Amino acid sequence: MKTAQTYFVIGVNGVGKSTVIPELKALLDVTAFEIHDFDERGVPNNAGKDWRESETLYFAKLGKANAVKGITTLICGFSKVAEVLAAAQSAESKPNIILLDANAETITKRIMN
């Protein structure tokens, strides 16, 4: 039996982090996976580093709690690698980081839309 894990799917604006959420939900067993949008709890005005760090810690703790129940957690959204690693240390968890990438033309097109 595989161990449940936590994954942060991150990347620059326009790379497709939010776009993959419905695809992941369609492909993965909802009894074994919990998929979250990093912004789902709301984004305050002037959200910045403090808010990102707080949300990253929240999701690192959620992932750890879900893992105990055998549920793998995926969090898709704008976070930074250093913030994920710091949150993981605080939450005593070991998340995986998936960094999405796209060429400049694709990202520009998505942002302009």
pLDDT of residue 37: 96
Sequence ranges of the domains in the chain: 1-29+41-93
pLDDT value at position 44? 94
Residue 50 has a pLDDT of 94
DSSP 2-18: PPP-EEEEE-STTSSTT
Check: pTM over 0.75? Answer yes or no: yes
What stretches in the chain show pLDDT beneath 50?
none
CATH number of 1-29+41-93: 3.40.50.300
Q: In what order do the strands lie in the sheet with 33-37?
A: 33-37, 72-76, 6-10, 96-99
